[in-house]
Amino acid sequence: MALHVVEPTPESTVNFFSAAHEPVLTMDPGDTAIVRTLDAAGYLARQQFPGDTGQPTMFPSAEFRGHCLNQPIAVRGAAPGDLLAVRIVSLTPGDWGWTVAPATPSSPVVKRLGLAGTEPAWLLWEIDADAGTATANGTYTRPLAPFLGVTGTSPAAPGEHSTIPPRAESGGNIDCKELVAGSTLYLPVNVPGALLYLGDGHGAQGDGEVCGTAIECPMTTEAVVHLAAGRPLASVHAETPAGRITFGFSADLNEAMGDALDAMVTWLASLYGTSRTEALALASNCVDLRVTQVANVTWGVHALLPAGLLSVG
């Protein structure tokens, strides 16, 4: 199997989804890609102090459309109706990152907290990947738990599509902190070749991503990409070190919760050869519903069946 490397150059970087994008490369199922991405804002140089937004970026602010991502990767043989399996082998963050609160001054969360119109607060993180820690403003230290905020395929509809809202049909800005190394994310294929986008590296994040940003940082991702057959679900779902995960995305958290739970009940029924009613009973005792993120217009909920929790026989 071949190894491919993608570097973040002006020719290999985009900030929106589009079925019209030319792939940066075409790989065979089973190939490995090492993709180096800038942080979500595309900073070309590190910030020197918290809130140092004067550093150059890949895309000038006048051209802002969304996250700074790799130009998409095509997978040979992938066709609409297929599922793409993206297995994350390793994730190595860069040596710095940032967080700003609030990232979206008029978001419902910010309004609820009474912080609309306030001056933003910035954290500048020093990242030590070898030690597995990140320290903000010389004061706050937490363990690293790196993952990609954005892993998605191209939507089928023509035109340009924002990278900000996650999509049930293609994933994208899922922002699920469980998608660490060792995870496999399953994504619907909507266009020939799938067109896989990676980026929005997070050194760590809490469930919810409540201010709109995590530890936003450059990331080197090693991933193996396959076509998946015989899966119990056709929707976005994942197998992670934490357990099996299904997702729901909606501007209404109740709808997002319902979609995540519906998919998990279907998965449980398939796993254990039982009815959906009995699967719901199992879910009530074994499945955790978590708010993935409330930061991206389309909010997310994920249902988690923890690894090793439920046995049979």
Q: Is residue 135 part of a domain?
A: yes
Closest to 94 in 3D by CA, of 33, 170, 41: 41
Question: Is the domain of 121 the same as that of 213?
Answer: yes
- Integer angstrom CA distances of residue 64 from 5, 16, 58, 121, 267: 26, 9, 10, 21, 39
Domain boundary at 169, 202, 228, which? 228
Measure the CA–CA gap between 260 and 87, rounded to whole angstroms: 21
What would the pLDDT profile of 36-57 be if each residue is shown by its tens digit?
999 999 999 999 999 999 999 9
Q: Domain of 59: which CATH number?
A: 2.60.120.580
Q: Is residue 306 within a helix (H) or strand (E), and if so which, with residue range? A: strand 299-306
**pTM (global) more than 0.85:** yes
User: Which residues of the chain, if any, have pLDDT below 50?
Assistant: none
Domain boundary at 204, 228, 252, which? 228
Q: What integer pLDDT is reported at residue 63 of this predicted model?
A: 66
73: exposed, middle or buried (Cβ count in 10 Å: 0-12, 13-18, 19+): buried
Question: Is the domain of 219 the same as that of 265?
Answer: no
Domain span at 264: 237-306
Q: How many folded domains does the chain comprise?
A: 2
Q: Is residue 311 part of a domain?
A: no
What would the pLDDT profile of 271-293 be if each residue is shown by its tens digit?
999 999 999 999 999 999 999 99
Measure the N-to-C terminal CA separation of the chain; round to a whole number of Å: 39
Question: Is the domain of 98 the same as that of 141?
Answer: yes
